[in-house]
């Protein structure tokens, strides 16, 4: 019962691929390998990391790294391959022709994602998005199943072979972290994950400049800023002096950060790929018992406002973001109650354990129980 996950884009310790899918499958009894750019082969949580070299440039990753991943994956001789990046679709087709079962894990709405890629010239994005959609849909007919990260993504694929496995947090991930009582926490807001322009980088920094009356108010960012020049742009914006960059953090460090913060921030701009997305950080903040300050997209607003587990704001309005931050910092009792309501939702509904049950049933149907 050997299964292999493949990625050319993600890290070996990717939250969805490794910590949720691969480790859960290993615990369920499958022999799991993960072919991914990494320094060396190793075994973590019962999962074999099969390393390939990391390409220094995007075009090399999409060609040379993809080829190395195919060769390493073929050597594994697995009965099922589960790949996670659109650029690996050719690899999936080749493995399918070798007689293996193949699953495509669609993390994003590919055409909408293409429309926000800054490295693609703006005049050509629509044509590239259309071509990518056609190729993805054509190839999906060859695969044994599609795993979609959201219901919106699932609508793009045949219903008969598509399973929605949402990227919700594990119930236990933040339960053992060191948490300060809300009233004793520093006046800090957390942002976890990669930070870009369309993820609200400028608006978040500018919002901090409107909180001068809250002396110790700060924004802690646990993640990398992309592209490289963006950090320099942000550093000259008023409010930057209240920002602390922590860089990429281990999961235990993320848990510690959230356990000492008063709210989690996710104010993505209304890009096509964001409006119906379900960002992992949104639910991780809830799992840590934090109130959420989120973009007022209809889907997010329904979750946050209707359950009173945070505040939804216009993500293009830095003053509105600042007002939401002011509210959670200055009213700790109300903030703690919002956080507890979000925590209950994760424990009862929005958790990985329920989602993994659907993926496990899919594996049972395709290759049987281990």
Q: Which positions of the chain have pLDDT values less than 70?
A: 176-177
pLDDT at 119: 84
Report residue 178: phi and psi, to 5°: -75, 110
Look at the chain and count its residues: 370
Q: What DSSP assignment string belongs to 135-190?
A: HHHHHHTTSSEEEESSHHHHTTS-GGGEEE---PPPTTTTTTS----GGGS-SEEE
Q: Which domains does the chain have, with CATH numbers?
A: 2-168+351-367 (3.40.50.2000), 182-348 (3.40.50.2000)
pLDDT at 176: 66
pLDDT at 175: 74
Tokens of 122: 């703006």
The pTM assigned to this predicted structure is 0.91
pLDDT at 146: 98
pLDDT at 118: 80
Find, among 287, 283, 321, 319, the residue nearest to 303 by Cα.
283
> Chain centroid to CA 156: how far?
20
With H, G, I as helix, E, B as strand and everything else as coil, classify residue 229: helix
Quick check: 283 and 277 in contact, CB under 8 A?
A: no
Number of CB atoms found within 10 A of residue 349's CB: 10
pLDDT at 59: 86
Quick check: 187 and 329 in contact, CB under 8 A?
A: yes
Cα three-residue angle 308-311-316, rounded to 5 degrees: 155
């Amino acid at each position: 019962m050997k299964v292999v996950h493949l990625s050319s884009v993600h890290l070996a310790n990717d939250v969805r691929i490794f910590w949720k899918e691969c480790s859960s499958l290993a615990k369920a009894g499958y022999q799991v390998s993960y072919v991914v750019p990494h320094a060396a082969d190793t075994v973590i949580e019962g999962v074999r990391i099969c390393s390939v070299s990391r390409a220094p440039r995007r075009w090399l990753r999409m060609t040379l790294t993809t080829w190395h991943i195919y060769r390493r994956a073929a050597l594994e001789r697995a009965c099922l391959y589960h790949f996670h990046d659109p650029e690996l679709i050719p690899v999936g087709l080749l493995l399918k022709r070798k007689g293996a079962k193949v699953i495509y894990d669609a993390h994003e709405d590919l055409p909408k994602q293409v429309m926000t890629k800054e490295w693609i010239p703006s005049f050509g994005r629509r044509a590239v998005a259309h071509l990518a959609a056609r190729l993805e849909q054509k190839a999906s007919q060859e695969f044994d199943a599609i795993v979609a990260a959201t219901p919106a993504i699932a609508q793009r694929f045949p219903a008969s072979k598509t399973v929605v496995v949402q990227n919700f947090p594990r119930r236990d991930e933040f339960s053992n972290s060191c948490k300060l009582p809300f009233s004793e926490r520093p006046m800090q807001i957390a942002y976890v994950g990669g930070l870009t322009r369309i993820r609200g980088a400028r608006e978040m920094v500018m919002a901090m400049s409107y909180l001068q009356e809250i002396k110790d108010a700060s924004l802690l960012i646990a993640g990398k800023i992309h592209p490289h020049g963006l950090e320099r742009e942000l550093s000259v914006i008023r409010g930057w002096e209240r920002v602390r960059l922590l860089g990429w953090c281990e999961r235990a460090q993320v848990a510690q950060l959230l356990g000492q913060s008063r709210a989690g921030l996710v104010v993505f701009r209304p890009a096509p790929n964001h409006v119906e997305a379900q960002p992992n950080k949104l639910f991780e903040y809830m799992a840590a018992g934090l109130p959420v300050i989120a973009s007022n997209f209809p889907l997010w607003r329904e979750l946050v406002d209707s359950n009173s587990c945070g505040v939804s704001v216009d993500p293009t309005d830095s003053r509105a973001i600042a007002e939401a931050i002011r509210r959670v910092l200055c009213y700790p009792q109300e903030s703690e109650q919002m956080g507890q309501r979000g925590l209950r939702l994760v424990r009862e509904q929005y958790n990985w354990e329920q989602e993994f049950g659907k993926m496990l049933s899919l594996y049972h149907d395709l290759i049987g129980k281990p």
